[in-house]
A and B are shown apart, each in its own frame.
Chain A
Amino acid sequence: MESLLSVKHVTTAFDTEHGKVTSTSDVSFDVKHGETLAIVGESGSGKSVTALSIMRLLGKNGHIAEGEVRLNGVDLAKLSDADMQKLRGNDVSMIFQEPMTALNPVLTIGYQLVEAIRLHMPLDKKEAKKLAIEMLTKVGIPQAERVIKQFPFALSGGMRQRVMIAMALVCKPKLLIADEPTTALDVTVQAQIIRLLHALCKEYDTAVMLITHDLGVVAEMADRVVVMYAGQVVETTDVYTLFEQPLHPYTVGLLNSIPSMDFDDKELQAIPGTIPSNYNALPGCRFANRCPLATEYCHSNKPELMDTGDGHLTRCFEWRKLQQGGHLQ
Chain B
Amino acid sequence: MSLFKRYFNKKKYDAAHTVTWSEDMPSKGLFFKRFKKHKLAVIGFFYLAIILLAAIFAPLLAPYNPNEITDAFGEGPSMAHWLGTDDIGRDILSRVLYAARVSLSVGIGAVVISSAIGAVLGLIAGYFGGIIDGIIMRITDIFMSFPYIMFILVVASIVGPGLTNIILILGILGWPGIARLVRGNVLAIKQSDYVKAGMALGYSTPRILFKHILPNTIAPILIYATSGVAGAILDEAALSFLGLGVQPPDASWGNMLSSAQSITILTDQPWLWIPPGIFILLTVLSINYIGDALRDALDPRNVK
A: residues with CB less than 8 A from B are 55, 57, 60, 85-90, 93-94, 96, 98, 101-107, 115-116, 119-120, 142-143, 146-147, 149-151, 154, 164, 167-168
Contacts and interface: CB of A to CB of B under 8 A. Distances in A.
B202 A154 contact: no
A94 B198 CA distance: 10
21 contacts: A60-B129, A85-B203, A86-B202, A88-B200, A90-B202, A96-B197, A96-B200, A98-B193, A101-B193, A103-B194, A104-B194, A104-B198, A104-B215, A106-B218, A107-B211, A115-B211, A116-B201, A120-B202, A142-B16, A167-B201, A168-B201
Nearest to A56: B199
Nearest to A120: B202
Nearest to A98: B193
B9 interface: no
A142 B204 CA distance: 32
A225 to B, nearest CB: 23
Contacts of B215: 104, 106-107
B129 A105 contact: no
Interface in B206-238: 211-212, 215-216, 218
Interface of B: 16, 19, 21-22, 24-27, 129-130, 192-194, 196-204, 211-212, 215-216, 218
Contact of A119 (B22, B26, B201): B201
A146 B216 contact: no
A86 B202 CA distance: 6
Nearest to B22: A154
B200 to A, nearest CB: 4
A60 B196 CA distance: 13
B21 A146 contact: yes
A150 B192 contact: no
Contacts of B198: 104
A98 B193 CA distance: 8
A94 B203 contact: no
Contacts of B192: 101
B202 A88 contact: yes
Nearest to B200: A94
Given A102-B196, A102-B197, 20 more contacts: A55-B200, A57-B196, A57-B199, A88-B199, A93-B200, A93-B201, A96-B197, A102-B194, A103-B197, A104-B216, A107-B212, A115-B211, A119-B203, A120-B202, A142-B16, A142-B19, A146-B24, A149-B25, A150-B21, A150-B24
Contacts of A98: 193
B16 to A, nearest CB: 8
Nearest to A89: B202
Contact of A96 (B25, B130, B196, B218): B196
Contacts of A88: 199-202
A151 B31 CA distance: 15
Contact of A101 (B24, B129, B194): B194
A90 B200 CA distance: 10
A71 to B, nearest CB: 14
Contacts of B197: 94, 96, 102-103, 164, 167
Closest 3 CB pairs of A and B: A89-B202, A88-B202, A94-B200
A150 B22 CA distance: 9
B18 to A, nearest CB: 11
Contacts of A167: 197, 201
A157 B202 CA distance: 24
B24 A106 contact: no
A151 B197 CA distance: 17
Contact of B200 (A60, A86, A89, A120): A89
A104 B212 contact: yes
A103 B215 CA distance: 13
B211 A102 contact: no
A292 to B, nearest CB: 39
B204 A85 contact: yes
Nearest to B205: A85
Contacts of B199: 55, 57, 88
Contact of B21 (A57, A60, A93, A147): A147
Contacts of B204: 85
A274 to B, nearest CB: 26
A134 to B, nearest CB: 18
A98 B197 CA distance: 11
B216 A102 contact: no
A164 B216 CA distance: 19
A1 to B, nearest CB: 27
Nearest to B128: A60
B21 A87 contact: no
Contact of B216 (A85, A105, A151): A105
